[in-house]
Amino acid sequence: MKKSTRSLSGAFALMLLLGALMGGASLAAAAPLKLFTPYTYLSVSPGETISYAIDVINDSDEIRSADVAFDVGSLGWKYELTAGGNRVRQISVKPGESQSLSLSLTVPLEVNKGDYAFKLNAGDFGTLPLKVNVAEQGSYKSELSVDQPNREGHSDSKFTYSLTLDNRTASKQQYALTAEAPAGWDVRFSVSGSNITSVDVEPGSSKSVSLDVTPAENAAADTYPIVVHAASGSSSAQAQVEAAITGSYGLSLTTVDERLSADITAGKTRNLELVVQNTGSAEVTDVSLSGQLPANWEVTFEPKTIRSIAAGQSVPVTATVKASDKALSGDYVANLTASSPEKTASATFRITVETSVLWGWIGVLIVLVVLAGIYGLFRKYGRR
């Protein structure tokens, strides 16, 4: 009898256990309220904004409501929880339906690299844990970088640098742009082709700025560092560029005795002994000679072209000028030019045309003939 009672008691206990399990399963199936988002662990950089689409699911047989709040703990990250474009604090969901929430979470600019945990709390709907991995160390500052900081050229070259100004602060900044260049150098900043002295940059954004540097005309061959500054009221940045001057171009054109005047007879030629000199510190190449003279005048050069002239050296050139045979007495202007791809030099000559000696003697002869004629007439008719 006792054995039978113990068997009944064991069976009853087993039935109670099964009933409890079935009841629990039935209860869980009767009120499944859930929060869901597909991406719960994201990796981002400082300053980025993460957007989550969260489903609030009600599979129960009645309307369910809950307060919703996002917990950032003591981190103080900025967020916005919205539904239908409006901020939301409470949500209601019909039976067998779901509603969507939008969560926007902004990673601060000044943040340490690592993992950060957050929670979305929605009452009976439960808690949705979210994790964010900040992939790099953040900062709260401005940065100025240069695409190619080293440029090389001659003293009459223009050096152009491409700068990028990053505003890694939390507010819009207006940066004043300045550069520490050697005396006599010209420095200009521009954006989209327009010259500027300052530039506005939105928080978390960057701006491309061009820097044009023109060396002084007499800049010696050397490497010149130029420090560029971008400063606002609360933040500043700087970068350094370099301009390597490899030499300067210079060219002069004159005569052996440096006289720029000459005499010539109409219809005749006159040789001008010229000197083409390289006054710079770099070689000039392919120097060609040309002239601009009065109408019907001619000029030829020997040599016509000069392949190269080393720095500080000079080359003699003979210019043969032929005056028009109809040129009247007086002063005329002749412009002679020596030009190369690197530099051009010119000289202006005053050329005085004199009457031909032959025509002078012809004039004298005519006068004598006229006088002789008058004398003959006087003798012939004077006796009468």
- Model confidence pLDDT, tens digit, residues 192-207: 999 999 999 998 899 9
336 beta partners: 291, 347
User: What's the token pair of residue 255?
Assistant: 């005569």
Nearest-angstrom CA–CA distance, 80 and 306: 75
**pLDDT value at 15 more than 80:** no
Q: What is the DSSP letter of 211?
A: E
User: pLDDT digits over 110-166, tens only?
Assistant: 888 999 999 999 999 999 999 999 998 877 789 999 999 999 988 888 999 999 999
Nearest-angstrom CA–CA distance, 149 and 165: 14
Query: How many CB atoms sit inside 10 A of residue 329's CB?
Result: 10
DSSP H or E segment with residue 275: strand 269-278
List the single range of 10-19, 49-58, 91-100, 339-348 with lowest mean pLDDT: 10-19
**pLDDT value at 183 more than 60:** yes
- Output the DSSP codes for 333-372: EEEEEEE-SS-EEEEEEEEEEE--HHHHHHHHHHHHHHHH
User: pLDDT digits over 42-77, tens only?
Assistant: 999 888 899 999 999 999 999 999 999 999 988 889
Q: Please tell me the pTM assigned to this model.
A: 0.53
**pLDDT value at 360 more than 70:** no
Reported as a pLDDT band with limits 50, 70 and 90, residue 27 is very low
**What is the pLDDT averaged over residues 273-286?**
92
